[in-house]
Chains A and B, each alone.
Chain A
Amino acid sequence: MNFQFSPEQELIRKAAREFAEEVVRPRVQEMEEGQYILDDLFRLMGEVGFLGVLIPQEYGGTNLGTLGAVLVVEEISRISAALGTGLQVHCLGLLPVVKFATPACKEKYLPGLATGKYIATGSITEASGGSDPTTMSTVAVQDGDSWVINGRKCFITLNKTANTTWVTTCTKEGKRREFTTFFVDKSMEGYKEGRLENKTGMHGLDNGEVVFKNCRVPDTNVLLGVGRGLPVALTAIGRMGRMGMACAALGTIQASLEAAVKFANERVLYGRPIAYLQGVQFKIAEMAYLLETSRLLVYKAAWLTDQNMPDAELAPKVAMAKYVATQSAIKASDLAVEILGGYGVVREYNTERYLRDARMIWAAAGTGDIMQLTVAREALKLK
């Protein structure tokens, strides 16, 4: 057993931390004030190779694997969970192109996805309920050598910033509905963003509707195959999306702990820093182990992903990591707010932002309940 990152992985973390501190930190305030500045930050993330972390080198990526992506998303989320989530969703959006696209589709999109010319997302959730995607009403109908998509997706991260998305549609009605996932870009007529949601946290990160109105997509943009659309979406979510949200959680826990430690060492009550109060120490200790346990689970799940563990076996490992990291982020940021006393809810101290951001993670890429079900199903050996 070896719990050490390789020197290369240490450097990946260093590169991400440097970017987060120097490029992202000065922009957080703007994002908090509701400015959508992600175009700009995405361009800069493209310059340092973050956008291509899952893209093979022959297509212009850096191909540093799931662990590489995890380190980058975690470090960016330490400064901005909103941008960390934006980056992970881009990775979730392009992963099916890497894994399942036709050679023509790969040639066309992957080099641009690595630099930021194309920014990707994934679209499956509909108003009918994200936990049960089989009830979706978006449809695609074949017409010659292309398909015509009609429907409306909701809660789509980067709905405005992204100019490409995979979209899962129903392509055969009946007792057993069939689904197909396509890769579409905004130059195709009929694909555009809809309304933006006004969210609790992760301000500056766009999230909202994506609308398809007679959107015509060529055959070559079918991912994996007609009728195999759900596995495409589940691979993207299971091999990146859930892990990525768990990394947003890791960054949030780390940031909460740092803020709490700084405050506890500086705030003097009864003649000594409050770090000497046992009640405060217990909270700090709890935050420290929430961080450590979450990290161990997330890094292990990422490592298993890189070992090519099949989707079905991997799902409960990832679900456990996402569940624990999410609950830990909610708990740790809440504790940080408490340790800061009144300052905990003052905006310039950031801890209230961590709590609002942590709350955003629970439903994204599958709710906590769905994570529990996935873990339980394996533990109970249910089919």
Chain B
Amino acid sequence: MQPLQIAICVKPVPDPKESTQLQINPTTKTLVRKGIPLVINPMDRNALEAGVKLKEANGGKVTVFSMSPPEGELTMLETLALGADEAILLSDLIFAGGDTLATARVLAAGIKAQGNWDLVICGAESFDGGTAQVGAQLAVLLGTPWITRVSHLKRVDDKHLLVTVEDEVEQRELLVQLPVVLTVESVVNQARPLSLWGIVEARNKKITVYNADTLKLDQKGIGLDGSPTQTRDLFAPDASREAEILTGDSPQQIANQLLDKIGWSRKGAAN
């Protein structure tokens, strides 16, 4: 089979294991990530694994794209250690504060600038933003179909993939023609562990940084100013609970009080 050119989109996010440490800046309404280590967004790690597996089976090249600040470079190195062949960091001060559409525009520009591609795989959603929009927007911008909730994928011939799509009610198998954008959830595979072998192999792989100029991006559509949506407020929901202790002479009486509280009609029920 023809080797595939596979693009994977990866976002560095604060380590979910440390998520209790996350705080919100009360004035800018952004997440304060200082001191929390960055990791590859968990579902993106599955996306990367899916791409690397396809490449290992049929040949090709896996290129990772990430829009992130320069600190994202360590995450890029990690993707190379996990099997990607090349990483492109899309980084520019003016990308900052972009919403999902502005982000998708930068990613699409990066993927196009890099040249040929047959398949884009993204995680279905990010651990921190959690909108699940970027994959869909990217497909529109690249002019390809988009398939989400992919739980299994297999290459059948030069031009087609067989993918399984799963939701709460059904499971469907789709024969899809390349090029296509897929978004995957963690069920799609078990991502490989970060190994010292991978780290050593990453030495011979390349990380390239593209900025707005190299991508020839129209500044109107990117960053905070180019975003059609703005965060109005961001807050941790109040999860406090109140406890009330019901007392009475007999268990039955207490149970009846409880039934009254939750509005349960006792009519007809044995007393």
Contacts and interface: CB of A to CB of B under 8 A. Distances in A.
B partners with A: yes
Interface of A: 7-8, 10-12, 14-15, 18-19, 21-23, 47-50, 52-53, 57, 62-64, 68, 72
Contacts of B220: none
B17, B81, B194, B202, most chain A CB atoms within 10 A: B194
Contacts of B195: 15, 47-49
Contact of B197 (A14, A23, A49, A72): A49
Interface stretch (B70-78, B126-134, B171-179, B262-270): B70-78
The 5 closest A-B pairs by CB, nearest first: A49-B196, A48-B195, A62-B196, A15-B194, A49-B197
B58 to A, nearest CB: 24
A53 B74 CA distance: 21
A182 B104 CA distance: 62
Given A7-B73, A8-B77, A14 B200 contact: no
Interface of B: 17, 73-74, 77-78, 81, 193-200, 202-203
A62 B199 contact: yes
A19 B74 contact: no
A15 B74 contact: no
23 contacts: A7-B73, A7-B74, A8-B77, A10-B74, A11-B199, A12-B199, A15-B193, A15-B194, A15-B196, A18-B194, A21-B17, A47-B195, A48-B197, A49-B196, A49-B197, A49-B199, A49-B200, A52-B196, A53-B196, A62-B196, A62-B197, A62-B199, A72-B196
Contacts of A52: 196
**Chain B interface, DSSP helix/strand/loop, else mixed:** helix
Contact of B196 (A7, A22, A23, A68): A68
A14 B199 CA distance: 11
A68 B193 CA distance: 17
A78 to B, nearest CB: 14
Contact of A11 (B17, B193, B194): B194
B208 to A, nearest CB: 16
A321 to B, nearest CB: 23
Nearest to B203: A8
Nearest to B207: A7
A21 B194 CA distance: 13
Nearest to B200: A62
A62 to B, nearest CB: 4
Q: DSSP class of A's interface residues: helix, strand, loop or mixed?
A: helix
Given A15-B199, A72-B196, 6 more contacts: A8-B203, A21-B17, A49-B196, A53-B196, A57-B200, A64-B199
Nearest to A14: B194
Contacts of B81: 11, 15
Contact of B78 (A14, A22, A23, A50): A14
Nearest to A64: B196
B37 to A, nearest CB: 8
Contacts of B78: 11, 14
A205 to B, nearest CB: 22
Q: Which of B77, B196, B197 has the most chain A CB atoms inside 10 A of its CB?
A: B196
Contacts of A63: 200
A94 to B, nearest CB: 15
B199 A18 contact: no
A280 B195 CA distance: 39
Nearest to A21: B17
Contacts of A62: 196-197, 199-200
A14 B74 CA distance: 11
A62 B198 CA distance: 9
Contacts of B202: 8, 11
Contact of A48 (B17, B74, B193, B203): B193
Given A10-B74, A11-B77, A11-B81, A50 B203 contact: no
B199 A8 contact: yes
A25 to B, nearest CB: 11
A72 B73 CA distance: 22
A221 B198 CA distance: 32
B77 A7 contact: yes
Contacts of B200: 49, 57, 62-64
A19 B196 CA distance: 11
B209 to A, nearest CB: 14
A56 to B, nearest CB: 11
A68 B200 CA distance: 11
Contacts of B196: 12, 15, 48-50, 52-53, 62, 64, 68, 72
A72 B17 CA distance: 20
A53 B200 CA distance: 11
Contacts of A49: 195-200
A49 B192 CA distance: 13
A250 to B, nearest CB: 18
A286 B135 CA distance: 49
Contacts of B74: 7, 10-11
A21 B203 CA distance: 26
A53 B196 CA distance: 8
Contacts of A47: 193, 195
B73 A18 contact: no
Nearest to A22: B193
Contacts of B197: 48-49, 62
Of A14, A18, A22, most B-chain CB atoms within 10 Å: A14
Nearest to B78: A11
Contacts of B193: 15, 18-19, 22-23, 47-48
Contacts of A8: 77, 199, 202-203
A334 to B, nearest CB: 27
Nearest to A8: B199
A21 B77 CA distance: 21
Nearest to B194: A15
